[in-house]
Amino acid sequence: MLLFKLISPEAFVKLVASEKARRVIPVDATWYLPSWKLNNKEDFLTKPRIPNSIFFDIDAISDKESPYPHMFPTKQVFDDAMSNLGVQKDDILVVYDRVGNFSSPRCAWTLGVMGHPKVYLLNNFKKYEELKYPLDSSEVEAFSPYPKSHYESSKSFQDKEVVDYKEMFQLVKSGELANKFNAFDARTLGRFEGTEPEPRSDIPSGHIPGTQPLPYGYLLDPETKTYPEDGEAMRSTVEKALKDLHCTLDPRKPTICSCGTGVSGVIIKTALELAGVSNVRLYDGSWTEWALKSGPEWIAENRN
């Protein structure tokens, strides 16, 4: 289920101006691929941001016991992070990133899975900038302008939203993933097909047997990196992508999305849910965990 709503820059500005009872807090969830050699934390502190933003560190707000990057956080890690950022349960959180609907869907989804009541995904920051809406250009020294709070998440949808390695391996081994599920991979075709290298040199390219390619770029506007604004347009975009990629989607079957490390998988998960697809989950460990744990006999390079 979609645990957050899209909000346009225009609607976001109106929300900030009109909301009197609750705080509207912009959440910068920028995360960069290591190969880009950019610093998301430094960018938050030194570059223009939406006024009164906090910085949600996807790498840090994660499962500390896992050897894999930014795996879904425990309740304690999440609550501590939200408390340190000064977030309160009745705050309206509006998530964005500097790339344009790249890592922000992952953050918005995490907030929703952990039960935060009101979460929006800004569709998106680049468009906000182009429309000349307010930006804070001052350099700051902290990741939040708010005093520390006591945040306590009261419910979690993790069991309904996240697929772990054990379940994924059993689905692949039994053949159920290919036969009883729609399974999509958000990485590029080259990485999926094993013809392009992975960002990490210790991980081979290829894909999980039973998955189909659905690169996230097929589902966002190529110029603005935005999602279509209505469900019908999103459905048309998904249908065109599937046709162009020679892939299929059976709406009667549950769906699992994955990617490289669980970030861009949420881009396609969100797109499918906006298009009306139900029962969509994320394999959080995605290709990195799969390639490092399953062994070469469970790595495919063609679709058959």
Is the torsion defined by CA of 4, 116, 100, 249 positive or negative? negative
SS3 182: strand
Give every strand in the sheet of 255-258, ordered side by side.
162-163, 280-283, 255-258, 182-185, 212-213
- Phi/psi zone of residue 132: left (φ > 0), alpha (ψ -120 to 50 degrees), beta? left
Q: Residue 103's closest CA among 57, 162, 43?
A: 57
Contacts of 1-4 spanning 24+ positions with Cβ under 8 A: 1/157, 1/160, 1/273, 1/278, 2/270, 2/273, 2/274, 3/108, 3/109, 3/111, 3/112, 3/113, 3/119, 3/157, 3/161, 4/95, 4/108, 4/109, 4/111, 4/112, 4/119, 4/120, 4/121
For the chain, the farthest-separated pair of C-alpha atoms sits apart, in whole angstroms, at 58
Question: Does residue 126 contact residue 97 with C-beta atoms inside 8 Å?
Answer: no
Paired with 93 in beta bridges are: 25, 119
Mark whether 259 is an active-site residue: yes
The C-alpha atoms of residue 72 and residue 266 are separated, in whole angstroms, by 12
Token readout for 295 is 């062994």
Residue tagged active-site, from 107, 247, 257, 259: 259
Kindly state the tokens that stand for 166. 């054990």
The DSSP bridge partners found for residue 277 are none
Among 87, 163, 112, smallest CA distance to 6 is for 112
For 175: left if phi > 0, alpha if psi spans -120 to 50, otherwise beta; the answer is left
**Residues with a known catalytic role:** 259
